[in-house]
Chain A
């Protein structure tokens, strides 16, 4: 059981380049999330998707777009990368909150450097 799979694990971009981070989960979860984590900081929510076909902005959405391709997959796109987007990115999935068994599971992370 793979859980949550993110690709790539590492990426170096030049300023202005674009890229898409891929995330897939095999737990049949309805909710999926993208976070960024900077040194000494917690996880900041970029975008989330509470169900297939819906996406919502989180705390730090500027400079990013997302696509919930189907129930399994949730991608994060940087259209024009900036050095401020250098970070570690995590994808996670869960059932929607407010109930039991709504814990989230995380992918391995993508370490992105923008030069």
Chain B
């Protein structure tokens, strides 16, 4: 089992809709969780970090963490075409592991 798994996508949403991304992880003791955005040909950039159960909101982005179920999700509200990118879920234990990524396309 991979340490971090994401719903593979791709995900296509209309402009203004909510994009929902999910991620599960295998190590029940994991404490640090992140969502990165990566535009084609660019480096990953951090958009959200979450360490405690519950929701964390930052602008149009909301990260949700459920340690009992070992999943972390990302909601993008009011999607813009500029949100079209690959979104990577990451878990930092003693090493930093990534999921395969979900490619999101926002249709104008």
Chain A residues proximal to chain B, CB less than 8 Å: 31, 33, 35, 41-45, 48, 50, 56, 58, 90, 92, 94, 96-100, 102-109
Which residues of the other chain, B, contact A100 by a CB distance below 8 angstroms? 32, 51
**Apart from A97-B91, A104-B90: 20 A-B pairs, beta carbons within 8 A:** A31-B95, A42-B100, A44-B98, A45-B98, A56-B95, A94-B92, A96-B94, A97-B30, A97-B92, A97-B93, A97-B95, A98-B32, A98-B92, A98-B94, A102-B92, A103-B34, A103-B92, A105-B46, A106-B45, A108-B43
- B62-108, CB < 8 A from A: 88, 90-101
Which residues of the other chain, B, contact A108 by a CB distance below 8 angstroms? 43
Q: Does B26 contact A (CB under 8 A)?
A: no
Q: Which residue of A lies closest to B101 (CB)?
A: A42
Which residues of the other chain, B, contact A50 by a CB distance below 8 angstroms? 94-95
Chain B residues proximal to chain A, CB less than 8 Å: 6, 30-32, 34, 42-46, 49, 51, 88, 90-101
Nearest first, the 10 A-B pairs at minimum CB distance are A97-B92, A42-B100, A106-B43, A43-B98, A42-B101, A97-B32, A102-B32, A97-B93, A98-B31, A102-B92
- The minimal Cβ–Cβ distance linking A109 to chain B, given in whole angstroms, is 6
23 A-B pairs within 8 Å (CB atoms) are namely: A31-B95, A33-B96, A41-B100, A42-B98, A90-B43, A92-B96, A94-B92, A97-B30, A97-B95, A98-B31, A98-B32, A98-B92, A100-B32, A100-B51, A102-B32, A102-B49, A103-B46, A103-B49, A104-B90, A105-B46, A106-B43, A106-B44, A108-B43
